[in-house]
Amino acid sequence: MPIRETFWNIPHWAEIGQYVLGLLTFLILVYGIWRHIRRWKLDKSVLRPGQWGKRLTNLFTQALVQLRTLKDIYPGIMHFTIFWGTIALLIGTALATIDWDVTHLLFDFQFLVGVVYNLFEVILDIFGLLLIVGIALAIYRRYISRPARLQDFPEPGLGTEDAFILVMLTLIAISGYLVEGLRIAVTQPEWAAWSPVGNVLASLFIAIGDPTNQTLHLVLWIFHIVISFVMIAAIPYTKLFHLLAAPVNIFFSSLEPVGALAPARYTSGPGVEKMSDFTWNQILNFESCTRCGRCQDQCPAHISGAALSPRDVIIKLGMQVWEPENGKSLHGDVISAEELWACTTCLACVDVCPVFINQLWSIVDMRRFLVDEGQIDAMLQDALANLGRYGNSFGQSERMRAKWTQPIEPKIKDARKEPVDYLWFVGDYASYHASLTDITRMTSEVFKKAGLDYGILYEGEKNSGNDARRAGEEGLFEMMVEENVATFESCEFKAIVTTDPHTYNTLKNEYPAEVNGDKPILHYSELLDQLITSGKLELSKKLNYKVTYHDPCYLGRYNKIFDAPRRVIEATGCTIVEMPRHRDQALCCGAGGGRIWMDEIEVEERPSEARIHEAVGLGDVQVFAVTCPKDVTMYQDAVKTTGHEDRLVVKDLIELVHEAL
């Protein structure tokens, strides 16, 4: 009967030695883990337990099934096979140990016998192959195809560590198979065919014969044991620590909407000045990073050639966790102001991170410190000062906010004076920007045509504060929320509709519950979709343009509104041709997070220009449709600077709807 003889050919001293080495490994492992946990500073605020069901589901789908990791197919499969190959072999080894040194030793009973043993052998052989496939994929990727995101780490030693892990995994897998092959070559059991890989290898060894094979077997067995233990002991001392940190990070990750930025924690000031100001959730973020570089690949700042790589920010912070008192100051020595200000807060990095790191949270926390210290560029300073004084970034009088309504008769309702169904929060750009007021008036015409009962706040509207908050000016954000909330409370309305996705995001996800709790917050593309679908807004013309649609970050990635604007475009009789980067993959225009107020960074190619090239590359697309006022200005400029004015027209969604009326 097939039976597992676990320590075949292993002298007693080697077996004992294995357990001694195992114990040592365990101690080194535990010490290493304790070193990490000691640094997490568990007394820091933000822990987020509760909602256990959701958290356990996340743990299952993201740590075990690895759904987000698998979204990027090649590295996803690579990781999945290495992970499950290793885990299966680890479980197999544990079972064999229990079978031999627990049940057999103590109770004279073995469960790895007969059919069970045959299945055990064949399953482990298959998982071993999966592991080797995964390792081969990894070696090819890291050393032959060499994607940029795996190169140029801020610390060259990290590349050596990556190589060490791959070499160790390779040696463990190969030596494991060789040991199996040698054992089969010597014992030649009837059930050898159940170990297909081992059996093939055995056929090669038979020719060598005994006792060489027995000696070889023992030597390789010892080698296999030693490097396996070294690998296990190395877990908390290398990026393999993500095996522990990543699941914990996923479990503790925020279940709030992604559009709700973590509020500033006021320690000495509202921001993060030094490593110890980070919460333990953020430290855990840094500890979970595997340097996979997916964030860097998605980052519009990095793509354009700016100083920022979210990957490097997290790597550098992760290294600093270990030496917070090395004399380097967090600001300047570890993370530069250029890196922090290059971020457009587009969320692409957060959205792709397979271990659920929130790079943006830490970047904004560090910006908060810079703002509190007054270390900001002159243009941003002006914009913030204007927001504080006039409630808009343009530095114009509040009384000019509704100037765009002057030609409109009858006057648009003043929501502060009479009840309305829809309170239209117009936003700064749509209200003040000279080249956008025509579009804003079109929106009001379309609303009127749909028979909507709507009103605006006139000079009572203040900037919503979304971007001031992301620029790091938390106090200003709080002030704007207070002012707007006070205005909202004096008005009677059933829903809020916004023109600007940035405003939409903060009203929906960050304003207090009395504003966003019981009343719907809609983006105008959602409202248009509802009006068209319900038949309240009838479009009589078919436009027949070929249109590509750019998902604004704060509407798409932040709030998952992908389909409503597309349905509206289709309702105007246009055909949508998607750009390669669309929906949650859409490239940011470069204006978010306060970047539109700052001095331009020297870049190789502006994100907005790269985006226009992407659209032009689609061939015969005529219209570049957007649903964000800032996008209209950003892309109209980019179309001019790239010289594509004759090929592509930037249109707001409302222009298409208006034309199709």
Partner 1 sequence: MNIVVLVKLVPDLVEELEIDSSGATLDTTFMRMIINEPDEHALEQAIILKEREGGEVTVLGPAIEDIDGVLFTAFAKGSDRLIKLVDGFELEVNNHALARAFTSVIRELNPDLVLTGVQAHNDLDGSLGPLVAEYLGMSYVGYVSGVTSSGDKLTVRKEYPGGLIGEMEVAIPAVLGIQSAEQPPRYVAISKVRQAMKTATIDEQTLTELDPSGGPTVSQMFQPQVGERAEMIEGDIDQIAAKLVELFGDLGVV
Which chain residues interact with partner 1 by CB under 8 A? 266, 269-270, 371-372, 374, 376, 378, 381, 384-385, 388-390, 395-397, 399, 473-476, 478-479
- Decide if 626 contacts 552 (C-beta within 8 A): yes
Q: Least distance to partner 1 from the beta carbon of 74, Å?
A: 45
Tell me the C-alpha distance between 383 and 389, whole Å: 10
Structure tokens at 219: 């030597």
Tell me the C-alpha distance between 631 and 653, whole Å: 11
Q: Least distance to partner 1 from the beta carbon of 377, Å?
A: 10
3-class SS of residue 546: strand
Q: Least distance to partner 1 from the beta carbon of 385, Å?
A: 7
Residue closer to partner 1 (CB basis): 378 or 513: 378
- Decide if 368 contacts 273 (C-beta within 8 A): no
Q: Least distance to partner 1 from the beta carbon of 383, Å?
A: 10
Q: Least distance to partner 1 from the beta carbon of 485, Å?
A: 16
Tell me the C-alpha distance between 321 and 328, whole Å: 12
Alpha carbon 10 to its chain's center: 48
Residue closer to partner 1 (CB basis): 189 or 388: 388
Residue closer to partner 1 (CB basis): 263 or 617: 263
- Decide if 458 contacts 401 (C-beta within 8 A): yes
Residue closer to partner 1 (CB basis): 396 or 622: 396
Cβ-defined contacts of 95-99 (< 8 Å, 24+) = 95/120, 96/4, 96/6, 97/6, 99/4, 99/6
Q: Which residues contact 553 (CB under 8 A, 6 or more apart)?
A: 344, 345, 346, 347, 348, 501, 586, 588, 592
Of 512, 643, 624, whose CA–CA distance to 578 is shortest? 624
Residue closer to partner 1 (CB basis): 305 or 395: 395
- Decide if 112 contacts 92 (C-beta within 8 A): no
Q: Least distance to partner 1 from the beta carbon of 142, Å?
A: 44
Nearest 5°: phi and psi at 216?
-55, -45
Residue closer to partner 1 (CB basis): 210 or 482: 482
Nearest 5°: phi and psi at 3?
-150, 150
Q: Report the 10 Å Cβ neighbour count for 163.
A: 13
- Decide if 450 contacts 536 (C-beta within 8 A): yes
Residue closer to partner 1 (CB basis): 72 or 478: 478
Of 442, 440, 430, whose CA–CA distance to 658 is shortest? 442
Structure tokens at 277: 């100001």
Structure tokens at 302: 């990095």
- Residue 367's H or E segment, with its range, is helix 359-372
Tell me the C-alpha distance between 189 and 176, whole Å: 18
Q: Least distance to partner 1 from the beta carbon of 580, Å?
A: 37
Residue closer to partner 1 (CB basis): 384 or 587: 384
Q: Least distance to partner 1 from the beta carbon of 642, Å?
A: 23
Residue closer to partner 1 (CB basis): 16 or 385: 385
- Decide if 511 contacts 478 (C-beta within 8 A): no
Alpha carbon 236 to its chain's center: 24
Q: Least distance to partner 1 from the beta carbon of 481, Å?
A: 12
Q: Least distance to partner 1 from the beta carbon of 32, Å?
A: 40
- Residue 423's H or E segment, with its range, is strand 422-425
Residue closer to partner 1 (CB basis): 21 or 476: 476
Tell me the C-alpha distance between 383 and 363, whole Å: 20
The alpha carbons of the chain give a radius of gyration, in whole angstroms, of 30
Would you state the torsion angle of the CA atoms of residues 67, 69, 71, 75, taken in this order, to the nearest 10 degrees?
A: -140
Q: Least distance to partner 1 from the beta carbon of 633, Å?
A: 16
Length of the chain counted residue by residue: 661
Q: Least distance to partner 1 from the beta carbon of 256, Å?
A: 23
Residue closer to partner 1 (CB basis): 390 or 447: 390
Residue closer to partner 1 (CB basis): 382 or 445: 382
Residue closer to partner 1 (CB basis): 254 or 396: 396
Residue closer to partner 1 (CB basis): 101 or 478: 478
The reply to whether omega before 629 is within 30° of 0 (cis) is no
Q: Strands 521-523 and 495-498, how do they pair?
A: parallel
Q: Least distance to partner 1 from the beta carbon of 277, Å?
A: 15
3-class SS of residue 327: coil
3-class SS of residue 413: strand
Tell me the C-alpha distance between 242 and 529, whole Å: 44
Tell me the C-alpha distance between 631 and 489, whole Å: 31
Residue closer to partner 1 (CB basis): 35 or 389: 389
